[in-house]
Amino acid sequence: MRVDCKHVWEHISAYIDGDVDAALRADIDKHLETCEICSAVLDSTRNVVVLVADGRVFELPAGFSHRLHERLEAELQSRET
């Protein structure tokens, strides 16, 4: 299966969490090898995840995945309680 950039972005947070199946992971890996845009997205997404793990406040890059944003907000709220 061929993945395009949008497809990678939809799954990027699950990809970082190791939450995608092996076939999809392999497709994304292959795409990342040849796509500078998605490599940059992956890097910045990882940076965001690291900041959350540190318990720091952060801003998501403009236009970023709504799903990821929701997920991060839920995570921050669960830390406060």
- Please say which residue, 24 or 51, places its beta carbon nearer to Zn ion: 24
28 belongs to the binding site for Zn ion (CB under 5 A): no
5 belongs to the binding site for Zn ion (CB under 5 A): yes
Is residue 29 classed as helix, strand or coil in its secondary structure? helix
35 belongs to the binding site for Zn ion (CB under 5 A): yes
Of 3, 38, 42, 48, the residue at the interface with Zn ion (CB under 5 A) is: 38
CA distance 44 to 17: 15
Looking at residue 19, the DSSP 8-state letter turns out to be -
Least spacing, CB of residue 3 vs Zn ion, in Å: 8
- Please say which residue, 4 or 73, places its beta carbon nearer to Zn ion: 4
